[in-house]
Chain A
């Protein structure tokens, strides 16, 4: 079953197919498909010929400030019309079927947005009612979602008295209350303490893993993306710099192992070099061993045993999200070649 079919199933209405929006066959499975999307504000071009397909699952949408993320989200929700290009969300054309898309998408804005003088549960109930829930059912569902979001008795307090963390939970609950197949979360962990942040990320993972929801996370907190995302799209200066799976992006240009040993690393480096294994000092007292084949790993263990060096950790080297992001923004990352795939 494709993501589009999954999205259409709960509502019992088949979405218009990707072909309906004249998008190529590769866009069929994509929850979001963009083809040459450009958005200009007068002479300023916010988005420049964006072509990318976001697959089902959790996708991190990254980019420095002013990269065009918010503009892209508004286009996806049908709030803004692209100057040129085509876009579809869950198989629906963003401009022609924008009302249908907004029924199928749960959007959590980055900005603090609330209706003063309403309590938290009233706010979520209101969001449910805007999504055509009956009055009593919307109240029941609001409580159910607030329970899931970890909101306690504070749900009865006026929202203007909420802390930042509580407001984040409230916005998340409002986005989720109508059980949308696609969630667009703008900075979902911003302002949360480490414990709450972990809980929020767990909820995101659970919604994808157990309930098959597709989730797009826009954030500046790169470890969050690394923790939950299976796919990453990086925007820079209105263009897609990177669009690839997290596995591909994390793989370094040349395979290597990261090794931590007890005691000074120089002894281990010398011992490995004696065996014609390319080993160099890495960051924070680690050792980088080039190559990650089975033979290399066996040689590392053998060398350590012979020289009586204790290995504390041995892991394949991975590009950090920071590295990926910075290289993408500077326009020199390898994954950029996949941007328009």
Chain B
């Protein structure tokens, strides 16, 4: 008990602007979420690919010294998935580029490495982290009736949703944009001259844009699922099911034609089948943002599908967040 309890005291505190309410919901959500030990481990793991991708950046920037380093770099790049995308963008990598050739292929190569990091290790971690962070955000509020804490105060549905979106978006940015931006800075620091910034200045903007393309639909879908149930585990199950079923469907639809095209040594274009998998759709859209539009003819359709999914999720969210008040 307090040493001196003056009883009830009227409050004369000057209030801050009402625009901070969504921010309060967001920060409190982040603080609550960060109490999960597993999440902290995953966030730590999200920065490990940074170390793996710093190697190719170093190799690329130092290979002008030694053709052996260049050959090693090319082998690593060829081993990366969808390396054909890089060839389509900058042409076949030369045996040992000259100074001018380095400048010509630098932008495309850096873009490809950043995209690969976002597309593969980070995307996998994003699915896991969103599967931990998003499901309880609204379903738990519905189960514990915490919505009364929010809506008996001057909080609008938009502020509530914005606050919750902010929580998921924060973790997605920490996993996707932040490591990619750090990798970009590492690339600059490892390069022979900081003037390389002027060749690659747009890449941080592309990283941010690619992260937005990823963050907006995934966050809204995850929160919409969370709002549909009182049980967080059902929401988590549905979240993972969407990715797994989408990927399995895509693989099933493309396996035979892909095999046939490999046999005939022709290029296979999955076409509309991409729209069956959220992972492929997001990858297509991100590739387009990083300037590999020629390799992803279905990018406009992917953007359209992602927009549609986002709008539908937002509508579900607005309707479901208001639902407990109607009874």
Contact = CB atoms under 8 A, between A and B. Distances in A.
Interface of A: 10, 41, 74, 77, 79-80, 99-100, 102-103, 105, 107, 109, 111-118, 122-123, 126-127, 129-134, 137, 141, 144-145, 147-148, 152, 174, 176, 178-179, 203, 206-207, 210-211
Contacts of A99: 154, 156
Interface in B311-327: 325-327
B5 to A, nearest CB: 5
Say what secondary structure dominates the interface of chain B.
loop
A133 B11 CA distance: 10
Nearest to A133: B13
Interface stretch (B69-77, B90-98, B143-151, B281-289): B143-151
B41 interface: no
A147 B8 CA distance: 9
Nearest to A103: B154
B35 A117 contact: yes
A109 B152 contact: yes
A79 B1 contact: no
Nearest to A111: B145
A105 B147 CA distance: 16
Contacts of A74: 325
B10 interface: yes
B263 interface: no
B24 interface: yes
Given A126-B24, A134-B16, A179-B11, A109 B148 contact: yes
Given A80-B326, A178-B11, A115 B5 contact: no
Nearest to A114: B144
B153 A127 contact: yes
A109 B13 contact: no
B182 interface: no
6 contacts: A10-B12, A100-B154, A127-B149, A132-B18, A147-B1, A148-B8
A230 B19 CA distance: 39
B44 to A, nearest CB: 20
Contact of B1 (A131, A152, A174): A152
A79 B325 contact: yes
B9 A144 contact: yes
B37 interface: no
A112 B144 contact: yes
A130 B8 contact: no
A179 B16 contact: no
Contacts of A114: 144, 146, 149
**What are the 6 tightest A-B residue pairs by CB atom distance, in nearest-first order?**
A179-B11, A132-B15, A113-B145, A107-B152, A99-B154, A102-B154
Given A102-B153, A148-B5, A130 B21 contact: yes
Nearest to B15: A132
B145 A112 contact: yes
A141 B13 contact: yes
B17 interface: yes
B79 interface: no
Interface in B251-301: none
B28 interface: yes
Given A74-B325, A80-B326, A148-B5, A111 B10 contact: no
Given A99-B154, A102-B153, A122-B31, 12 more contacts: A77-B152, A79-B325, A100-B154, A111-B145, A111-B148, A132-B16, A132-B17, A134-B16, A148-B8, A148-B9, A176-B8, A179-B10
Given A10-B10, A74-B325, A117-B35, A130 B153 contact: yes
Nearest to B153: A130
A207 B7 CA distance: 10
Contacts of B327: 41
A134 B13 contact: yes
A115 B15 contact: no
Nearest to B7: A148
Contacts of B13: 133-134, 137, 141
A115 B149 CA distance: 9
B26 to A, nearest CB: 11
Contacts of B153: 102-103, 127, 130-131
B15 A131 contact: yes
Contacts of A132: 15-18, 20-21
A211 B148 contact: no
Given A115-B28, A116-B140, A130 B10 contact: no
Contacts of A178: 11
A102 B148 contact: no
Nearest to A109: B148
Name the residue among B146, B149, B151 with the largest chain A CB count within 10 angstroms. Answer: B149
B8 A210 contact: yes
A129 to B, nearest CB: 4
A114 to B, nearest CB: 6
Given A115-B144, A147-B2, A130 B155 contact: yes
Contact of A141 (B11, B146, B154, B155): B11
Nearest to B9: A144
